[in-house]
Structure 1
């Protein structure tokens, strides 16, 4: 398990950033700028997204978590931040890496999600509707631009199936890390954030800031300041 007490001597804390559905590592560009040198932010992306867009999308939870874990191996991660779909990946990843801090944003805990029905996806519109029902939000320009919609179709369907898989894989998951939950004041998709407490044997704290569902896009400075406050509190407690 990473020891936050080492951070004072060895530079800023290392935070892994797991993006929402249909987003690559570039989604966190503004958040990383807002963090500056206050944290060493390591944004990751799954196959089929961003710079890995030519790779086949992953639709199974275990494979997605293993892919991210391999990319973070040996980096000494002190906290994992996951947004929207990334929150479920972060939950599973925290258990594997033994990270002391789990930071989740813009998603309801998997334990309160209704059972996943699956199937019934016959078109891009079906996939978008089903993905939205899981709490995800897809940028409007992706849906209204014909070329972007065509290119993003496989990614959207893949992320829908991955969302279903992640919900079932983490529904009963419980980690030893403290869990800090962040919600946006203008986000109607996130419900029962306090119920994230069911997924930890440690502490669970919920915070709210201005912003919509995609918090790192709508309020990157607010997210950055929140991350730094959580990390600073952990370091103070460990010191």
Structure 2
């Protein structure tokens, strides 16, 4: 790892540091991302904390620590870091994650208030998509299923061309299942399958469940299909994917 793997915008932020320190922080940021991707949370945390100790006023360092805390389920710490990023950078791109942190802390009213702030209108299309998924999850937590479905009815739902839209399709299908609208849900799970080229969701399995099929592993040479005696129940959490 050389540190040069980082996005150019991060290197611009690091110019406020000495050359030696910038190079060291860059390496820690790369390693934090690599370890987070490998699910080695402890190692990712160590690298992110070191980056913050050496560059506490660099937004990218605070964002890295926030992402690790978010993955750990330490929503209070993650929210604090994301707020610091917004204060240092002036950017609201982490707003969906901030809303989800409020949700994770059980502060659903605060989450909805934050999602409705003027900053939400400044988000890029992919960020608005993630925010819609989180808001829908908040509504589901509150038992407001109709409102949860409405929250997902953003323009990207029908366009189907944006990156990550398969997650929106999945959340929409999952909410339809919760509402008992299984036939409609099947259609949207199918859309999720078509867009999920990296298998980020279990949309294929959900489709099989809706069709009453249970794929049971009976051994290395068998792929028997066994009818499932009971229909599935849906339970989506609406969490966004950390970048």
TM-score range, shorter chain: under 0.3
Q: TM-score, normalised by structure 1?
A: 0.27
Relative contact order (alpha carbons < 8 A, sep ≥ 6): 1 or 2 greater? 1
Structure label with greater radius of gyration: 2
> Which one has a larger percent helix, Structure 1 or Structure 2?
2
Bigger strand fraction:
1
TM-score by length of 2: 0.26
